[in-house]
Structure 1
Amino acid sequence: MPDRAPVQLGEYESAPLEPDQLTPRDVDRLHALQARGCLTLTTERSGWRLKADATVGVLVLDRVRVVITPKFAIPGEQLMRWLAYALGTPFPATARRWATGPEGYADLVAAALLEQCERLLREGLRRDYVRRRSVEPVLRGRLDVAAQATRRYGQLDQLHVRTFDREADIWDNRVLGSALRSALGLTSSPDLARALHGIAGAFPQAPTPTAALRALDRTQYTPLNARYRPAHTWARLLLRGGGVTDLLTDHGTTAGGLLLAMPALWEAVVRRLGIEAVGPHGGHAVPGGTGAGITIRGDLGNASTFRPDLLLSLPGRDTAHRTVLPVDAKYKRYDRHGVSAADVHQLLTYSSGYAPADAPVAVIVHPQPGGHTQRTLQVRGPSGPLGTIQVLGVDTRTTPAQAAQCIGSVALTIMGRSTCHAQNQRSSSSLTTPEGGDLSCSV
């Protein structure tokens, strides 16, 4: 891979570029990413200015290599832990082998794919029956009589045959070969590049990355290929350039970049955290496809419907009745500044539309480096209380299991249950309330 000038910036930060650092092809790619809300490219008198939005990762252009780091300064191992959690795939041990450096987080994802591919090679690649047509000097399989008569005119020196043999050249392996070669273009670590190059030859390759993605979308997992699921997860992430079906917006670059939309990633994390937090207490998520949601009619255009990121159904004190708790994921620094008026209005609408009328409550979950926090917003009007908003900060430097326990403690309080169960266990962190009290969180 040719040497490219490194350009490093953080989320919502910008960096200047010289006029000759971007080729016309680069400008077209950046404008395409700008249309999808990943970044912004503007012209200046002295050249270009590139500004990142809520996106992290690596973008390899013709002459520069852009590395965008998270605004929360999450260590590489922790980002991989949360990413694996959102994807529902095992946490890769290779996150400890390749630390985050100037090469960015793409190397960690490539290392995760490498780890899974090495495991598959040790266990033996899956083989399946593949139909082939070929010309052989001897008869193998079945003779293709029509081809033999029309192409060889009855001559038997070469035989047109149809075979049906077990081979490793199947789509389960082809998509991994394509992903390994895509990872080679992203990594800047010599050791990782050498390992990727060494293993890529053991896997067949799809004709194009687009064909590999189509095959991944068609893949149905059975006991025969279930062990391929983690490797396919990382392969899909690399081939889509950061876009993952049902997780991140599938509008990333198909090659030459790995850009993660952090708000969408945080929403996926919060959805799984909430479900796992209330499950042991009899709660569950309300399916997104059911219910009318909050609908706006009478305005110009079509009626619009919107829902919070997560709706949790919680058992109340009377087990015959259940409480619906709206939860919204906010990828914002609410550990440094107050909740915006727009978010207060949004959460009040959710609490009014879903929560009980006698106790309207909604929850904001935001990333909080350095410790779990919780504060309560009491919203009042001239005629009395309008609702309550619980602002919960989840420590991004802890494990997902510990974060789920803290969300579960808040859910228990909202359900009106005693938190003695959580407090009876030894605690190593707490949720701080505005009054100075602690809502203990067992971790």
Structure 2
Amino acid sequence: MPDRTVVRLAEYQSVPLDRDQLTPRDVDRLHALQSHGCVTLSADHSGWRLRAESTVGVLVLDRLQLVVEPKFAISSDRLMSWLGYALGAPRPLWSPTRRWATGPDGYAELVAAALLEQCEHLVRDGLRRDYVRRETVEPILRGRLDVAAQALRRYGQLDRLHMRTFDREADIWDNRVLATALRTALRLTIHPKLAHDLHGVAEAFPAASSPTAALEALDRIRYTRLNARYRAAHTWARLLLRGGGMSDLLTDRGIAADGLLLPMPALWEAVVRRLVTETAALHGGRVSPGNGSAGITVRGDLGNTSAFRPDVLLELPGRNGSARSLLPMDAKYKRYDRHRVSAADVHQLLTYGAGYSSSAPAGAVIVHPLPGGRAHRRLKVDSPQGTLATLHVIGIDTDAHPEQTVAWIGDTLL
């Protein structure tokens, strides 16, 4: 990787850039990211001003390496716990080596290390092999003779035989997509030890394909008892190849850029959704879909119909024979341990409570991250006719493993 100037900024921060620090191709890349709400690039009198939104990670441009750091102080190993939990992938084992420390490549090295560990396990246990059809020309018959090719290309001569063979090989898509992901990780990693290990394990895999072909193959792969052990490695490979889960963000426009970008609000929503799902299962409830006929819709206005959909709609069993109740919950990637709940969020939760609560006062829940502890407070919304709603604001400890939080949520809310 050529030397590039490292520019660091936090979420929602902005930095000035000289006009010659961005090439025209870089400007196109950043505008593509801007259309997805990841960054904002604007021209000013001195050059450019780049503002980070709620997406963190690393983006390698022609002359710059942008590192967007999260506004929450989440340690690297704990971030991997949350990321693995949200993706449903096993958390890589702790290693006393350099692997779990973030460096100039930020979170890209963390995901690359997770992929590396899973690939090392696969190589150690032996890569999966399957029967692959090959068309070859050899002096000795092996497999099935291709009579048509022999007649049309060799004109009946038997010194070289056209054959179709089926041999068990490792050159299958299960392995090929990992080879592509390993080579992608190499381009994002500058730490010598990690790069050396990635290069070493990549040699055990077949030739890499293009990232687009690998992503298409990952979408086609179905897991059976023969390849179930590949699921975790494929999860981390997909994260790297998609640049953090935003499907072909730059490739769709024919623009190539190396990077790993994690949309933190989406990650937080995924974590909360799984936390609530597991909590509901322990208490006889379930997560109900909040869309379709169960959604809150607005009709009759100008334009298309709009909808209100909570991040999670929890369906709970009734007590003493009463009907089952619905509890809307919304994941907010905000520091509500330091700031009061915004009026917009109160209005949003009031709408959810009015739409889904079967009894008065209505109820709804905000779930926010809280480094180093847990918190629960109640907001009471009153009107001249009485109490409208009780809103629960709960903070989840981001320093603890999410599985430790499931019981606490149940004791607090249910």
Which TM-score band applies after superposition, normalised by the shorter structure? over 0.9
CA distance in 1, matches of 2:278, 2:263: 23
- Runs ≥4 residues deviating over 4 A: none
The offset of 1:318, in angstroms, is 2.0
Q: Greater CA deviation, 273-282 or 83-92?
A: 273-282
**For residues 95 and 386 of structure 1, do their structure 2 counterparts lie closer, same or farther at Cα, with a shift above 3 Å needed?**
farther
User: 1:231-280 deviations in whole A, cap 9, x for unaligned?
Assistant: 0000000000001xxxxx43544550100111111100000011112221
| 2:114 aligned residue | 112
Which residue pairs with 1:274 in the alignment?
276
Aligned to 1:378: 380
> What per-residue deviation string (whole Å, max 9, x for no partner) do you get for residues 57-111 of structure 1?
1101111111111000211111111000000111112576421233311101000
Deviation at 1:338, TM superposition (A): 0.8
CA distance in 2, matches of 1:15, 1:319: 59
Contact preservation (8 Å) 2:145, 2:163: yes
| Secondary structure of the structure 2 residue equivalent to 1:263 | helix
Alignment partner, residue 6 of structure 1: 6
CA distance in 2, matches of 1:305, 1:95: 46
Number of residue pairs aligned between Structure 1 and Structure 2: 407
- Note the C-alpha offset of 1:359: 3.3
After TM superposition, the score normalised by the length of structure 1 is 0.89
Q: How far did 1:142 drift?
A: 0.6
> 1:420 — aligned with what?
none
Is the CA contact (8 Å cut-off) linking 1:80 and 1:95 kept in structure 2? no
State the secondary structure of the residue aligned to 1:93: coil
What pairs with 1:386-405 in structure 2 (closer than 5 Å)? 386-405=388-407
- Residue number in structure 1 paired with 2:27: 27
- Note if contact 1:325-1:355 (Cα within 8 Å) is conserved in structure 2: yes
User: Aligned equivalents of 2:183 and 2:84: distance in 1?
Assistant: 22
One-letter amino acid of the counterpart of residue 401, structure 2: T
**Identity over the aligned pairs, expressed in percent?**
67
Say if 1:272 and 1:315 are closer, same or farther in 2 by CA, change over 3 A.
same
Q: Is the 8 A contact 1:241 1:253 kept in 2?
A: no
Which position in structure 1 is the counterpart of 2:63? 63
Write the distance in 2 (CA, Å) between the matches of 1:94 and 1:205. 30
Distance 2:110 2:91 in 1: 11
Compute the displacement of 1:10 (Å).
0.6
Q: How does 1:277-316 map to 2 (within 5 A)?
A: 277-288=279-290, 291-316=293-318
Q: Does the 8 Å contact 2:22/2:62 carry over to 1?
A: yes
Quick one: distance in 2 between partners of 1:264 and 1:242? 11
Q: Does residue 1:211 correspond to 2:213, yes or no?
A: yes
Structure 2 equivalent of residue 250 of structure 1: 247
Distance 1:319 1:227, change over 3 A: farther
Q: Greater relative contact order (Cα 8 A, min sep 6): structure 1 or 2?
A: 2
- State the match for 2:87 in structure 1: 87
Change (3 A) 1:51 1:217: same
Q: Structure 2 CA distance, aligned partners of 1:55 and 1:124?
A: 37
Whole-Å separation in 2 of the counterparts to 1:126 and 1:109: 23
Equivalent runs, 1:318-337 vs 2, <5 Å: 318-337=320-339
- The answer to whether the aligner puts 1:356 opposite 2:353 as a matched pair is no
Query: Which piece of structure 1 moves more, 398-407 or 87-96?
Result: 87-96
Aligned AA (1:32): A
Rounded Cα–Cα distance in structure 2 between residues aligned with 1:33 and 1:383: 48
Offset of 1:199 from its aligned partner? 1.1
Distance 2:388 2:291 in 1: 28
Counterpart CA distance in 2 for 1:76 and 1:252 is: 25
Q: Which residue of 2 aligns with 1:45?
A: 45
CA RMSD of aligned residues (A): 1.5
Q: Which amino acid aligns with 2:105?
A: E
Separation in structure 2 between the aligned mates of residue 298 and residue 289 of structure 1, nearest angstrom? 19
What is the alpha-carbon distance in structure 2 between the residues aligned to residue 250 and residue 326 of structure 1?
A: 29
Deviations 1:188-211 (A, max 9, x none): 211101111111111123431000
Please give the alpha-carbon distance, in whole angstroms, between the structure 2 residues aligned to 1:25 and 1:403: 45
Distance 2:301 2:217 in 1: 42
- TM-score, length of structure 2 as denominator length: 0.95
Alignment partner of 1:242: what SS? coil
| C-alpha distance in 1 between matches for 2:70 and 2:94 | 20
Distance (Å, rounded) in 2 between the aligned partners of 1:93 and 1:3: 32
Match in the other structure for 2:180: 178
Cα displacement (A) at 1:137: 1.6
- AA of the residue aligned to 1:89: A
Q: Deviations over 1:314-356 (max 9, x none)?
A: 1232245211110000111111111111111110010111122
Q: Is the 8 A contact 2:361 2:388 kept in 1?
A: no
2:190 alignment counterpart: 188
Q: 1:5-64: per-residue Cα shift (whole Å, max 9, x none)?
A: 111111111122222221111111111011111101112222222111001111011111
Please tell me whether the aligned partners of residues 171 and 206 of structure 1 are also in contact (alpha carbons under 8 angstroms).
Answer: no
What is the letter of the counterpart of residue 346 of structure 2? V
Gaps of 5+ in 2: 252-256
Alignment of 1:161-172 (within 5 A): 161-172=163-174
- Mapped to 1, the partners of 2:227 and 2:258 lie a distance apart of 29
